[in-house]
Amino acid sequence: MSSTDGPPPEPGELLDIADIREILAVSKTRAYVISRDRNFPDPWIDHPRVRLWRRRDVEAWLDAHRPDWRASPPT
């Protein structure tokens, strides 16, 4: 099944590597390594110059692999 199966994403639903870096609070290099892991969701768009993931796929991965990611930062 291709990662582009299904309806097209809504505006704002696609995440790039900078968005993933921000969500994970890691460096760009670390975000790149994580995004290449076999357990990370396949990108919705995978071109030589851009990789974009569906937000819901990334959030499902985060729920499974980093369950506390939705917690508010301590104040």
Residue type, 18: A
What integer is the mean pLDDT of 27-34? 96
Question: Within 13 A of 12's CA, how many CA atoms are on the CB side?
Answer: 0
Q: Are 44 and 4 in contact (CB under 8 A)?
A: yes
pTM of the full structure: 0.80
Domain ranges of the chain: 14-65
Residue 45 has pLDDT above 50, yes or no: yes
Q: Check residue 8 and give its pLDDT.
A: 72
